[in-house]
Amino acid sequence: MLIIYIHGFGSSGFGAKAELFRYYFQSTQHKFIAPSLSYIPSLALKTLEEIINTSTEKIVLIGSSLGGFYSIYLAEQYHLKALLINPSLRPYETLSKVLGMQKNYYDGSLYEWRLEHIDELRKFEKNNITAELYMLLLQTGDETLDYTQAQKKFFDAKLFIEEGGTHSFEGVERYFEKISSFFTP
């Protein structure tokens, strides 16, 4: 099995959550990758689709925030299981508030987030979902996104909702065994 971790907006495949997952899955028989993706939505998804289309292994996804949005698109396109961590369901709304120059959290590089990127995001939205493909980790204290949107959309999926926390989802490592079980029933 190949586990693909999909990071959020302005992050990288070397962010704190990606590193926690990398360390955990190194102790299993599963392969784990966390590519650092382009900030341009269509390029990020092309990279992920190339990985999916060239792999000979079963693929599962872990997506955080914007990575959750991308994971929904890919899970529905390729019928893949996906763990969503505080997923962004309408990033074209939330990210329209940060147009202009942005800094990558990992390496400090600058990039320009433009209106055309917001328009690209709209093209990848999936309104109808296959609930059994998903496990969600939500924290009510998410300061960036309203967790109830994901709770409503994925009411039939495997949901874990914790009081408090943050957008980063504090203590994600407490769920590693449940995540592993979800991916390998």
pLDDT of residue 19 exceeding 80: yes
Q: How far apart (Å, rounded) are the C-alpha atoms in residues 99 and 166?
A: 23
Give the chain's domain count: 1
**Residue 171: its pLDDT value, please?**
94
**Residue 5: its pLDDT value, please?**
98
Q: Tell the burial category of 30 from Cβ atoms under 10 Å away from its Cβ (0-12, 13-18, 19+).
A: middle
Compute the mean pLDDT over every residue in the chain, rounded to the nearest whole number.
Answer: 94
Q: What is the pLDDT of residues 27-54, one digit of tens each?
A: 888 899 999 999 999 999 999 999 999 9
Counting residues of the chain whose pLDDT is more than 90, the rounded percentage is 86
**Residue 29: its pLDDT value, please?**
83
**Residue 128: its pLDDT value, please?**
93
Q: What is the pLDDT of residues 135-166, one digit of tens each?
A: 999 999 999 999 999 999 999 999 999 999 98
pLDDT band at 108 (very low <50, low <70, confident <90, very high): confident
**Residue 65: its pLDDT value, please?**
96
pLDDT band at 107 (very low <50, low <70, confident <90, very high): confident
**Residue 60: its pLDDT value, please?**
98
Q: Tell the burial category of 151 from Cβ atoms under 10 Å away from its Cβ (0-12, 13-18, 19+).
A: middle
Q: Give the CATH number, domain containing residue 135.
A: 3.40.50.1820
What is the residue range of 107's domain?
2-183
